[in-house]
Chains A and B, each alone.
Chain A
Amino acid sequence: MKYMMFYSLLIVSLVANTTLAQQSAIVLNNTQILDMPTSSATVVSSVNKDTMVSLLKRKGGWYQIETEALEVGWLRMLKVRFLSEQESNEKSIAKILRETAVMPPASGISTGVRGLSDEALTHDESNTPIKFEQLKNFIPAEESIIKFAEEGKLMTQESVVLPSD
């Protein structure tokens, strides 16, 4: 009975960690956690190098993170490295053995792998092959580029200066 419970917990945890694997990261060096995504914000806490954290959401160059002690705060994106699936599983199993407790997966962050299948992109009922010469038909007219930008509220950021070639 005791073993059954443990393995149930382990299985539940591994399933949960499929999600967790996409949202976990390692802190690259000792750093402070802030209450807002800005350098001038108040320090909430600090995390040491190699600490595993859950990523909750991103704003600009900042991630909102949650530590194992359930502290929540913000740190710079480049302060963390995403855990590989293998690392995440290894750490999670170690954690289960240590605590025999299952952490709920964090949610709400978009970290790049959203499970959209490649097939979903290639599926097309008409499926008429496109020849190289036909590709020019997809080049947008000037007015449609402007409209496209306006629809997305994309505005040229005049302050950004590109380096010369």
Chain B
Amino acid sequence: MNKKFLYSITLLLLFSFLTACGVKIQGIDLGRVFNAAGKVGDLGEKSEEEEATLGKNTIHALLVNTSINTKQQLQRYVNKVGYWLVRHTSRPDLAWQFIVLDDSAVNAFAAPGGYIVITTGMLASLNNEAELAGVLAHEIAHVILRHHLNALQTKSQTGFLLDLAILGTQVGNASTANEQGDLKGPDVSGMFDKAVADLYYRGLDREDEFKADRLGVLLSAKAGYDPYAFVSVLQVIGSREDRNEQDLQRFIRVHPSASTRLNSLESALFLVDSYDLSNRILAQRFRNRVVN
């Protein structure tokens, strides 16, 4: 019997038991968590609603101790670029949200459900709107291709369900429950946060990054931006990789080297070259909206 099947059966039994008992741990209704939040398990493809809930939990975990940039014009601008891009994807109706963080580190990342984060450090390293579009398009591509969602689900198969097995044993020992049905047990939220932190610390598979690069370049082109602006971003980052810059360490840790990414982009760029494109760059608008 394969492992995945055993996990699924275990989860289904656990879910039925928790729902029937209405058991809570540290205030969390586990039946509800298992049913709606989709935080754990691999019971098939997640619905968009489940993905949205998972994404919200993920972004909340990632934004702890961070500072959202207070320039409303900047937030609006980045959202407009992002929303123009997502109109051209297969998933325009997700609850997309583009967030600028005050962080000098050069970084951008995505979370399931349509959350895209870009740091002021990344914005400061860009020249024009086409480069911004290229960076956002790469992150949008991760969401479209469900990379983080799949990675979190895979992770849950290998480690998180093990914790749940222990949790199941403890839940079974319901004599420890208090009158409200609350148990003192493993902190489900804590475990989830750990899984998220682990994924975002290690980064996605290299192949996922290459796929997001290729789709992102094509998406930029489809939205009317110069797709080669993203190549320029990667070339600049490549020239900074060996400088041991503190602000670039996180980016370097979770991404393949710029040179390998550029090599992998060749097929997408070959495709782009076959089109007659408008190639908008919009340097002045970028400067006006970002700096002023």
Question: Which residues in A have some Cβ–Cβ distance to B below 8 Å?
Answer: 25, 58, 60-61, 77-78, 80-86, 110-114, 116-118, 120-122, 124, 126-132, 135-136, 138-140, 144-145, 148-149, 151-157, 159-165
B163 shortest CB reach to chain A, Å:
27
Question: Which residues in B have some Cβ–Cβ distance to A below 8 Å?
Answer: 59-60, 63, 67-72, 74-76, 79-80, 83-84, 87-90, 96-99, 102, 104, 120-121, 123-129, 131, 144-146, 214-215, 218-219, 221-226, 228, 231-233, 235-243, 259, 262, 265-266, 269, 272-273, 275-280, 282-283, 285, 290-291
The answer to whether A77 and B129 have CB atoms under 8 Å apart is no
The answer to whether A112 and B235 have CB atoms under 8 Å apart is yes
A22 to B195, CA, bound (A): 39
Given A77-B235, A121-B120, A135-B75, verify A61-B273 contact (CB < 8 Å).
yes
A116 shortest CB reach to chain B, Å:
5
A157 to B68, CA, bound (A): 33
A34 shortest CB reach to chain B, Å:
14
Q: Which residue of A lies closest to B291 (CB)?
A: A120
A164 to B99, CA, bound (A): 27
Interface of A is mostly: loop
**Residues from chain A with Cβ under 8 Å of B87 in the complex:** 145, 156
The answer to whether A140 and B79 have CB atoms under 8 Å apart is yes
Among A117, A131, A155, contact of B278 (Cβ-Cβ < 8 Å): A155
The answer to whether A163 and B215 have CB atoms under 8 Å apart is yes
**Residues from chain B with Cβ under 8 Å of A60 in the complex:** 226, 228, 279
